[in-house]
Structure 1
Amino acid sequence: MLIGHITSSQPAWIYIFLIFGAISLAWGILFLAFMPDLPSTARFLNERERIVAVERVATNRQGVKNHHFKAYQMWQCLRDPKTWILFVMSIGAQIPSAAHYSFMSIVSGNVAGYTKKQLTGAFVYVGCYIGNIIGPQTFIETEAPFYTSAYIAILIGYSVETLMVIVLYLYMWSVNRKRDREAAVYGSGLSAEREKEAIERGMQDVTELDKKGFRYVL
């Protein structure tokens, strides 16, 4: 590799971070400058294509990006069991390994409302950072080479993560079942109307707790 042939007073590994870090920074700036944050503002789409793109986003019942902070969504986030389950999952998973990207996909698919989604994601990241802080502390130098405390911490971390995955699944499954039972009361003749209502409410930046037509992805 060419980086390994760089002659300098600095160690070669430093240039890996400098070069690839600079490339990532430059790409991030370009991406931020030219990529739209909403289908309706995409400059490379014509008016009809923008409408089609917004309609496709609407079908996931989560709406589009909204920059307005909504206090009621903050309180919903704090009262929502999913928030704290994901928080504990992040801590448990991050002690032995890096797994927060998996949890962010859960947030993306099962949390609606721009403010609530951002705050839930923040809880996941905070949990990851707490796990990152705890993990290295379990490797006690005097316990080398077996590091008993670290092994115990890893086992506890994975056990907590597994338990929280089960709890989260059961919670979302039970909510889906409850909403299916409630929807059945209206009869199958109104299913299309309720589907349309769920999509329209999604475009109004409301949370999954407010939208009875929302179903969690299991």
Structure 2
Amino acid sequence: MDTKALQIEDTLARTDLEDRDSSVNSHYEANEHVLASDLHINEKKLMRKIDWRVLPILCGFYLLQAIDKGNIGLAKLGGIQQATHTQGSLFNWAVAIFYLGYVLAELPCNLILQRVNPRYWLAFATLAVCRFFLGVFEAGILPASVLITALWYKRSEHATKTGIWFSFSSLGSAVGGIMSYGIQGNLANAGGREGWQWLMIIEGAATIAWAIFAFLVYPNVPEKARFLNEDERTFVLNRQRLDHTQNTLKFDMAQFWEAVKDYKTWVLFCIYFIWQAVNIAFSTFSPSIIVGLGFSNLNAQLLSAPFNLFNLFLQIVLSVISDRLKDRSALLITCGLLSTVGYISIVAIHNNNHLLYGLLFFTSFNSGSLTLILGWMTNIIIGNTKRTVSSSIIIIGSSLGAFAGSQVYQDSDAPRYIRGHTTNLCLMAIGIILVLILRLLLMKENRRRDKIAREQVEAGLTKEVEVIKDVTTLVNQNFTDKSDMRVRYYL
């Protein structure tokens, strides 16, 4: 094994949070710059190269899966309920069955991802067309995307990169609304088919085409990526290691049980459950909510698009700010409060439909901050098997939340849907409290680790950091956030 000691002391022992963050950044950047110099790598150029190979495919998947997943809400306005005889709560169950499939397949999909290259799973998942089986196979898309992001990028980049590909889900919802307006408005009864049927056919065909394209062009994992040379692969793998981010895809049973027993997993499970329940409740039924404000069915499809474009804007901006501040929870709490203000206003105000339509935009702070939860998850849960299992559990929470959220708005509550809005309001209040609790617990743990690190420095127990050039050694590093006391949790 070829190694080169960098002779840089580990200066993580600072009790003051701001000073500690500064020392961590300096420590990491010094190692990274020496690594780049030793391997003759231009880091910015290399990461742009990786961005253009990794992110566009993920963006395409999220654009199309959002269109496919959300078109049932738009098809409702085009007559799918009457054609399928799913009036009242039956339609809610038709929406919810997708998430049942998602829940059932989530953990198996994540365990498969420990054995199968995520590149192959992404392409296969998009070929499902039946709503239940779409949920079953789509269960692999989110965890595979999270895993790919964690394999290629350091923790301080996770929120931004996640925000980029996840925001295309909002773009997909916006595009879906516009496509629905055009397709259902112009192709109704064309070729003997209803407008909503053409909606499903056209959008499904686009998804299949993208799946084939992605399978052919998507890059492999870093240590096998053919578009990188040997030095570039070595740099990426060491870059991840120095950031305390694991590279291996091997399954580790000890990490499996550590994930199950970690309180962070279950608090994030509850937070994601709540955030997604509110998101799905509103986003799926927003066309019907807009109709309740006095707009026509066709115009409601068009008027639902601005919410999704605003979500896209929020997801990218909040993710970038979060990475700059290295803080997820403060922004989550802020967005939760703004969303709560929106629901309070909607419930309280009467007889001003245009104002109510404007106030609906406050609800976007809920869906616009979903990427912060994913970024927070990858930052505070480290170890590949541990992260995979924890993300499975947390995403199951999201799916159960979506399942519950699909029942929040009922046709019997039209046109104002007060009960649904009030339910979302109460859920957001609980979610904010849970985020605050997790933040305080992580602050306490960071202070404990600072104290231990300070004592080690005072005792002269500093450590050297090595650059490892042997790829086999790099991909077999085995540690978690619990075992590596140098890890500090992002708040």
TM-score (norm 1): 0.83
Cα distance change on mapping 1:160 and 1:91 into 2, 3 Å:
same
Q: How does 1:97-176 map to 2 (within 5 A)?
A: 97-98=279-280, 99=367, 100-176=370-446
Q: Which residue of 2 aligns with 1:36?
A: 219
Query: What displacement does 1:10 show?
Result: 2.4
The one of 1, 6, 12 equivalent to 2:195 is 12
Query: What displacement does 1:82 show?
Result: 0.6
Is residue 2:259 matched to residue 1:77? yes
Q: Which residue of 1 aligns with 2:345?
A: none
Is residue 2:88 matched to residue 1:88? no
Cα distance change on mapping 1:201 and 1:213 into 2, 3 Å:
farther
Q: Which residue of 2 aligns with 1:57?
A: 240
51-60 vs 201-210, which moves further: 201-210
SS in structure 2 at match of 1:61: coil
Q: Deviations over 1:36-61 (max 9, x none)?
A: 34211110111111111211122221
Q: Which residue of 1 aligns with 2:453?
A: 183
200-209 vs 94-103, which moves further: 200-209
Q: Which residue of 2 aligns with 1:205?
A: 478
User: Aligned pairs, how many?
Assistant: 214
Provide the identity percentage.
27
Higher helix share: 2
SS in structure 2 at match of 1:187: helix
16-25 vs 82-91, which moves further: 16-25
TM-score (norm 2): 0.40
Unpaired runs of 5+ in structure 1? none
Cα distance change on mapping 1:191 and 1:8 into 2, 3 Å:
farther
Q: Which residue of 1 aligns with 2:117?
A: none
Equivalent-residue separation in structure 2 for 1:201 and 1:97 (angstroms): 39
Letter in 1 for 2:260: L
Cα distance change on mapping 1:210 and 1:30 into 2, 3 Å:
farther
Equivalent-residue separation in structure 2 for 1:201 and 1:180 (angstroms): 27
SS in structure 2 at match of 1:126: helix
91-100 vs 154-163, which moves further: 91-100
The alignment yields a C-alpha RMSD, in angstroms, of 2.9
102-111 vs 38-47, which moves further: 102-111
Tell me if structure 1 keeps the 8 A contact 2:219–2:227.
no
